[in-house]
Structure 1
Amino acid sequence: MSFYTRRMRMMLPLAALLITAMLSLALPAQLVFADGPGISIKSEVGYEGKVKFDKWNPLKLTLTSDQDISGDIVLQIQSQNGAGFHTSYVQHVELPKDTPKEVVLGLPGTILNKDNNQILFYEESYKKGKPIPFASGKNYVQANPYNGALIGVLSDDPDTMNFMNVLNGKGTSVNIIPLKAAGIPVDAMLLSGLDVLVINNFASDTLSEPQRQAIVGWVNGGGTLVLAGGAGYAKTAAPFAEIAPVTADGTTAVTALPELEKLGGKPLKLDGDFTISTATPVKDAKTEIQASNEPLVAVHDYGQGKVQYAAYDLAMEPVSSWAGHPAVWTSVLQGSLPVGSQNMYYNPLIDNLNYVLDYFPSLSMPSFTPLLWMLIIYAVVVAPVLYFILKKFDKREWAWFLIPIIAFIASGAVYMAGSADKTKELAHTINIVEMNGHGSAVKTTATAFFTPRSGNYELEFPSGMYLRTSGSRSSFGGGMDESKSFVRKNPDSTTVELRDMSQWSLAKVWAESGSPEELGRMETDLKLDAKGQLSGTVMNDTTGDLTEVVLVIGGKGYKLGDIPKGGSAPIPQDPKQILNFMGGDIAGMLYPYSQNDDKYRQRDIISNYTFSKGTVNTDKAFVLGWNTEHLTNYTLKKQAVRSDQLNFWVQPVAMTWGTSGKINVPYGFLAPEISQVNAPIFNAYGNGIELGQGSLIAEFPLISDQEVVYSEFSIKGIKPNNNVKMEIWNAQKNEWEPVNGSGNELKVTENPERYILNNRIRFMLNANDQTNFQMPELSVKGEVKP
């Protein structure tokens, strides 16, 4: 055997070992599991497996160990682009031997399967120990976000509200979820996956006090609670007396419900006595339907949400299975339930604002001019100056070490110039403050955290916050890095640990809380005179000064300018201060694009806010404004992170009608509300509606705080295009009538009351093909009853 052959045989094992080592470095690291006790796991996701897109949903884990052990349960969710685990949700748990332990985590509504998430148990802590494999059960979560309406029901009869299932079909999706008292979370945020919670003929005192508070907090944050039960109403509503629309005082029997029959549009025969509860509406509550001079349906706003009262048992026959019952409750719950198919253009607000956070006011790229001068000076010094000096002293060989030294100094100068504002942790925070007009507001926060150095960072947020993170972005617009973030809810704080952050990168955190904050309101005094002219004032009763305040109402934007705290501004009459938004883009008109654009954040926030809400920009009246006060602070090593903050304040507003006894409401003030869609495609976005072949039913709500005798009404836009035809509901005849107005407008001056049902005008739009159009508009005239 030759020397060469022997040498090759000796080298081959070494080469194989080297290749194996290199491959092991190239492949992603796999988890190394520790030996330990046998732990079984069971999971229950959302409500009957339903999770709501872009909402926080409960994930109930039941763990059982064959030994006493304590540690961290960790749910790791992978980023959408698949680049490593995105966010890990952590909770410490003590597992006594052979004793099932229930753990509830908040789960963001997104698509989850065995390929993009996993559940791990670390003995002691995820920071120290190794994961212990589960002896049985799935170590991952499966969830597919549900985009239809979710109605939770607490009732002695599990079939309560099942009559709403008849709405399921082409373009509409409703899911009724029977609940048990034990299934109600103790955290309001974990109820946010429900659109409506119905409590009907149910002993609500079986709920614990934390559960009751969670329901009240959920309503305060925007939920809709229905309290009903007829003869059993008292036991239903007793724990919720502070937010109920009525004070119950007994029961009575009726033999007919004509008001309900008209709203349902179908004959209703009771076949004898039908028991309803009797009650007195509380202050500020509105009676929507009456029966025998008793409130049959009433509503009371509470915080961001509302509480509905029904005087009868929703499961009681013959009303429960009555063919008109679904139409009644689609009208009663109008605005509380999503309608139609999911808007295909809808994205979570966090996704839409993600790139806005890149506009970091405190950070900027180095100015080109100083860098250019540094380059010129370096070139001059290194080339002619250094050459002539060394030549004069006959030391040209010194160039071998002087040029590297000068280059080193020049590089240091360039680095110092470019990193002057990048040596400390910084934050760029956007707060969206949604006021309810009664003094409290729901605040949602998006923040970008800048890391001046590589390493690990642990940020501490106030208690009760729910956090989501997105991948870090390196070097001001560079690619997305793998984000390793661990979120833990503690009794007194919520922390997020950001691991392996690279130098000069941004970690983005989305923070939400189920508890409204007392941040004040915009007090409005708005009036329409007999000529339909708007006047009044807007007062800033929030916690700070507001800039660039705008009132959006009637399809127009009234620029009110800056309003200091405690100050007010009149509604401008100068046409230069009034923008016509009808059919236009609010964001683009308020903040037009320009060459020196310094309002890009404001424009993008308004655009993304209205877009992500899936609503038509001009269909609601609201006031908006801005300030830069510090509304959200988080800490790093117990020190507040220096932050640039931009706060977007928005609040719906109400109108005072008929100040002179005359009612004259122009087009644009009474916006239609869609109650039912029967089409494969439905989207409300930007400035209009997209509808597939099918129909939608909507209602114009009329003036509800006064009794009005209407003398005429007009509907403009009755022929949106050649693909759409309109019908109007005749409440006297209980039937649909085709609309045949003059041109593109219907004007009714003779007996307009025949089209008014429950203080609403109902219409239907039928599309014979997929199409886009603007919703019709309504104007009314009449007199207020003395």
Structure 2
Amino acid sequence: MSLSMIRKGCLLLTAILLLAAGLAVPQLSGTANAAPQVEMQTELGYEGVFKQGKWNPLRIMLKSSEDLAGDIVIQLQNNNGMGEAASYVQRVELPKDTEKEIVIAIPGVFLTKDNNTITFYEGSYSEGKPVAISGSKTYLTKSAVASTLVGVLSADPDTMNFLNTLNGKGNSIIRAPLQADDIYEDAMLLDGLDVLVMNNFASDTLTERQQESINSWVQSGGTLVLSGGAGYAKTSAPFLDIAPVQPEGTMDVDSLPELVQLGRKPLSLADTLTLSKGSVVEGAVVDTITAGAPLFAHRDVGQGKVRYAAYDVSMEPVSSWAGHAAVWASVLKNDLPMSNGGYNPSMDQLSYTLEFFPSIQMPSFPVLLWMLIIYAFVAAPLLYFILKKADKREWAWFLIPLVAVIASAAVYMAGSTDKTEEMAHTLNIVELDGAGLGNIDTATALFTPRSGDYQVEFPQNTYVKTQRRSGGFVTNLGENKNFIRVEQEQTKLELRDMPQWSLAKMWARRAAPEQTGQFAVTLDINDNGEIAGKVTNETLHDLDQVVLVVGGTAYKVGDIPARGTADIPSDKKSMITLMGSDLAYQLYPYQNQGRDSFNRQRDMLSAYTYQQGNFSTSAYVVGWSDEELSSYTVGGSFIPSDQLNLWTQSVELDWSQKGAFSIPYGFLTPQVSQVNATNFFVYPHGIEMGQGSITAEFQLLSNPNARYDEFSIKEIKQGNNITMEIWNAEQAAWEVLPANQNTYDVTDNTERYIVDNQIRLSIQSKGQGMIQMPELTLKGENQ
């Protein structure tokens, strides 16, 4: 080849390269065909606090370089590493260069870079491709907390700071200062808050849907505190239908002796303090009165409470007063659960129980045994005898495998007769509020007879967790197979690649209470502590094995049809004295022989009664039904479901209608408000504590006109390591109870021991040990 030809070839190649480069330049410098990029910022929980075992808000701020529509997918391990991951999906449309915020509810689990990821799919997660994300990590790292979470909406961001001093005294409290936009319009996004304090806050700046969200949150079990002194009227304005006190102006005081009694520290007001005045609504309870007006009051609303404080809790000198934390430890003692290292299960603990499908039976062992015997007889001696007789022994080469195939098919048919269709097993705990509404917590399992993909549809406003394995820790996320999308009309769960004969376990909860009906309980208790009365089933369901628990005794009321009434039994055989034992195991003891026919009832009742605080409830009713109370569809079709429903409701013992009253031991339960001990654990009807002290309070009758003539405290003699004291309000000092006797009787001047309608005890221990909580009997008259 000549040099000129080589030169011409090089020139031609150069021209081609330049042309190619020229064609590429517009594509590189232009934006029309560039891949879109998404900037992302995330904010998890409530001012960074992420609540364990609750639904928490995840805020995601997104901005795209191009007009973009697609799905944001948060994939995480729902069950602390147990089972396959679930992906929470939300549709997003992003205009070019415009920041958009979305909020997704995710369950409170410990988050690390290995157990979660965030992905944006252009178009959809099922068909689109991931889009590059910048500005933030594509995973979340956060430790979920089990502490009591108190959200604060106030003009002063330091409001309720004094609660921090209660930490280490039996409480674990985190205070989260909130802004108006932290109150979400979906009540489930408030699920992680235990208490919401609104103090001197212009509540009318909240939207109508935010106000409705707070109402639903209270109905479902939240505690709302309304306060603000002169600002109470603007704080309570949108919530007057649930507030315990209706505002009627203000008043000034120059001292607060009732607050001093609660806080047990001197308080001097340099100037007057402005309090709100108001009328107490019907059904509300006045806890403390000062200068003839309510200082503290509360009102039960559904499963929750609304509390009232007449003063601005951020106002000095009260805010930083040394006794202020003790005051609120007493006011919120039922809303700030004590730290407890003991067993505290939830609906998640029913994962194993879900595997006991009543309609799925194990193959009959005698049938399988006879099939095996017949197969062995046919495949060996009988077949050999027939072939030998026919002189066709060489046929054994294909007859023996044929018999094996037929036998295997027969065994398969015998074992799969009830496993050919989708089935569900659902466990519901229905917690009634006594006013017609109830919260329904659901644990359910879907049986899939064939391998493949399934879509499960739940009613609107349902929040779902899922688990497809019953055990074994998963060290990485793996492939997305479970997709949950909360939509306006329904919640959808897509289950991909379900194996044959497998279970998908799901936990579902609605954002607001539902119409359920209630129990109506009337009680009459004589001086000997014997109960008479009736239980009326005001639900729409026939209930079985109804039990009333009150005063440390369980009364087996029996079956009650819908709208029916049953008497509380007086027969000793129908009563169980609990004496600190577990109600679930007393009613449904283990069965050592044969199938345990009550394992579901025992597990569900144990899960309910051992939730924090439930076992200390002085009175409640439980009953059972097996109707389809909650349902979902698979591919749009309803499927057969085994259901078991536990109905439960707390019972308020109303003594206010009586004239003279005599309340026996066991009906007034002390509540621990402060702990200064090395260890502290709560168990049914007792506590375990280390060296140190605890403060416990007996709440007396709600009737402010009750006069107490005498009372007696027993179980004060509990060994040389235990000392008990009672607070003497007249002397403003602790009074040691006699250690050489088991009861302490007060027959005159009872008021010296009563502060804020309660009797306060201090229990000191020199070492680790179990303590049975003291009991109180009370006599007096409603004036």
Instruction: State the one-letter code of the partner of 1:122.
Output: Y
Say whether 1:91 aligns with 2:129: no
C-alpha separation between the residues in 2 aligned to 1:100 and 1:342?
A: 44
Which residue, out of 687, 712, 715, partners 1:714? 712
The match for 2:40 is 41
Distance 1:255 1:485, change over 3 A: same
Tell me what 1:662 maps to.
660
Indicate yes or no: 2:697 matched with 1:699.
yes
Task: Name the residue aligned to 2:518.
Answer: 521
Q: Is the 8 A contact 1:188 1:218 kept in 2?
A: yes
Deviates most, 375-384 or 442-451: 375-384
Q: Secondary structure at the match of 1:542?
A: coil
Q: Is the counterpart of residue 343 in structure 1 residue 341 in structure 2?
A: yes
Which whole-Å deviations, capped at 9, do the CAs of 1:55-108 have from their partners, x for residues lacking one?
111111111111111111111113667577511111111111111111111121
Looking at structure 2, the residues matched to 557 and 481 of structure 1 have their Cα atoms a distance apart, in angstroms, of 49
The Cα shift of 1:272 comes to 3.0
Determine the C-alpha separation between the residues in 2 that align with 1:82 and 1:654.
41
Q: 2:425 aligns with which of 424, 428, 438?
A: 428
**1:212 to 2:211 alignment:** yes
Distance 1:686 1:670 in 2: 15
Report 1:74-89 matches (<5 A). 74-78=73-77, 82=81, 85-89=84-88
Q: Which residue of 2 aligns with 1:489?
A: 486
> Displacement of 1:646 after TM fit?
0.1
Is the deviation greater in 662-671 or in 709-718?
709-718
Deviation at 1:407, TM superposition (A): 1.5
Q: Which residue of 2 aligns with 1:451?
A: 448
The 5 Å alignment of 1:343-742 reads 343-347=341-345, 349-473=346-470, 484-594=481-591, 595-596=593-594, 597-611=596-610, 613-615=611-613, 617=615, 619-657=617-655, 661-705=659-703, 707-742=705-740
1:25 is aligned to none
Q: Which amino acid in the other structure matches residue 178 of structure 1?
A: P
Candidates 753, 756, 759, aligned match of 1:755: 753
Whole-angstrom CA distance in 1 between matches of 2:212 and 2:304: 15
RMSD over aligned Cα atoms: 2.1
Measure the CA separation in 1 of the matches of 2:282 and 2:347. 38
Give how far 1:784 is off: 2.4
Q: Distance in 1 between matches of 2:506 and 2:667?
A: 38
Q: Does 1:177 align with 2:166?
A: no
User: SS at 1:520's partner residue?
Assistant: coil
Letter of the 2:134 partner, please give it: A
Deviation, structure 1 residue 264 = 1.8
In structure 1, what is the Cα distance between the partners aligned to 2:639 and 2:559?
28
Residue range with higher mean Cα deviation, 545-554 or 601-610: 601-610
TM superposition shift of 1:723? 3.5
Q: Which residue of 2 aligns with 1:257?
A: 256
> Do the aligned residues in 1 keep the contact of 2:256 with 2:290 (CA within 8 Å)?
yes
Alpha-carbon distance between aligned partners in 1 of 2:428 and 2:205, rounded to the nearest angstrom: 38
* Structure 1, 627-636 or 688-697: larger mean CA deviation: 688-697
658 and 97 in structure 1: CA distance in 2 versus 1, 3 angstrom threshold: closer
Secondary structure of the 2:468 match is: strand
**Corresponding letter in the other structure for 2:547:** V
The within-5 A match list for 1:169-248 is 169=168, 171-248=170-247
Q: What secondary structure is seen at the aligned counterpart in 2 of 1:617?
A: helix
Q: Does the CA-based 8 Å contact 1:343-1:614 persist in structure 2?
A: no
Q: 2:741 aligns with which of 740, 743, 748?
A: 743
Looking at structure 2, the residues matched to 482 and 62 of structure 1 have their Cα atoms a distance apart, in angstroms, of: 26
Change (3 A) 1:63 1:693: farther
Percent identity reads 54
In structure 1, C-alpha distance between the alignment counterparts of 2:335 and 2:187, rounded to whole Å? 17
The amino acid of 1:656's aligned partner reads: D
Q: Counterpart in 2 of 1:331?
A: 330
Given that 1:467 and 1:510 are in contact with CA atoms closer than 8 Å, whether structure 2 keeps it comes out as yes
- The 2-side partners of 1:148 and 1:740 are apart by 37
> Residue 456 of structure 2 contacts residue 494 of structure 2 at CA under 8 Å; is this kept in 1?
yes
Deviating more after overlay: 697-706 vs 235-244: 697-706
Distance 1:190 1:72 in 2: 20
Question: Retained in 2: the 8 A contact 1:472–1:505?
Answer: no
Q: Deviations over 1:207-245 (max 9, x none)?
A: 111111111110011111111111111111111111111
Instruction: Give the SS at the match of 1:472.
Output: coil
Q: Which residue of 2 aligns with 1:779?
A: 777
Query: For 1:169-215, what per-residue CA distance to the aligned partner results, in whole angstroms no more than 9, with x for missing partners?
Result: 35432222111111111111111211111111111111111111111
Structure-2 separation of matches of 1:555 and 1:316? 43
Deviating more after overlay: 542-551 vs 722-731 = 722-731
TM-score normalised to structure 1 length: 0.91
* Alpha-carbon contact 2:460-2:488 (below 8 Å) kept: yes
- Once the 2 structures are TM-superposed, how far is the Cα of residue 657 of structure 1 from its aligned partner? 2.6
Post-superposition offset of 1:732 = 1.5
- Partner Cα separation in structure 2 for residue 555 and residue 702 of structure 1: 18
Residues 425, 450 of structure 1: 8 Å contact kept: yes
Deviates more, 1:300-309 or 1:260-269: 260-269
Letter in 2 for 1:210: R
* 2:131 aligned partner, one-letter code: I
Counterpart of 2:166 in structure 1: which amino acid? L
Shift of the 767–337 alpha-carbon distance from structure 1 to 2, 3 Å rule, reads same
In the alignment, is the contact (CA less than 8 A) between 2:55 and 2:188 conserved in 1? yes
| CA distance 1:686–1:555, shift in 2 (3 Å) | closer
Shift of 1:482: 8.8
Tell me the distance in 2 between the aligned counterparts of 1:36 and 1:135: 13
Supply the AA of the counterpart residue of 1:96. Answer: P
Shift of 1:273: 2.3
TM-score (norm 2): 0.92
Structure 1 unaligned segments of length 5 or more: list them. Answer: 1-33, 475-479
Q: CA deviation at 1:486?
A: 1.1
State the alpha-carbon separation in 2 of the partners of residues 292 and 171 from structure 1.
33
Q: Is the 8 A contact 2:660 2:782 kept in 1?
A: yes
Give the number of equivalent residue pairs: 744
Deviates more, 1:177-186 or 1:374-383: 374-383
Higher mean alpha-carbon deviation, 743-752 vs 495-504, is at 743-752
Matched, 1:147 2:111: no
Query: Shift of residue 311 of structure 1?
Result: 1.6
Q: Which amino acid aligns with 1:155?
A: S
Distance 1:624 1:277 in 2: 41
Distance 1:219 1:659 in 2: 28
Deviates more, 1:676-685 or 1:463-472: 676-685
Supply the AA of the counterpart residue of 1:486. Answer: F
Shift of 1:338: 2.2
Could you say if the C-alpha distance between residues 151 and 544 of structure 1 is closer, same or farther in structure 2, counting changes exceeding 3 Å?
Answer: same
- 8 Å CA contact 1:75–1:90 kept in 2: the answer is yes
Residue number in structure 2 paired with 1:27: none
Q: Which residue of 1 aligns with 2:298?
A: 299
Given the superposition, is the C-alpha separation of residues 741 and 703 from structure 1 closer, same or farther in structure 2, using an over 3 Å criterion? farther
Distance in 2 between residues matched to 1:37 and 1:278, nearest whole Å: 60
- Report the 3-state secondary structure (helix = DSSP H, G, I; strand = E; otherwise coil) of the residue aligned with 2:216: helix
Deviates more, 1:455-464 or 1:773-782: 773-782
The letter of the residue matching 2:355 is D
Q: 1:680 to 1:486 in 2, by over 3 A?
A: farther
Q: Which runs of 5+ in 2 are unaligned?
A: 1-32, 472-476
Inter-CA distance 731–490: structure 2 relative to 1 (3 Å threshold):
same
2:767 counterpart residue number:
769
Contact 2:656 2:703 in 1 (8 A): no
* 8 Å contact from structure 1 (residues 72, 124) kept in 2: yes
One-letter amino acid of the counterpart of residue 468, structure 1 = K
3-state SS of 1:131 partner: coil
2:17 is aligned to none
Is the alpha carbon distance of 1:619 and 1:300 closer, same or farther for their aligned partners in structure 2, counting shifts above 3 Å? closer
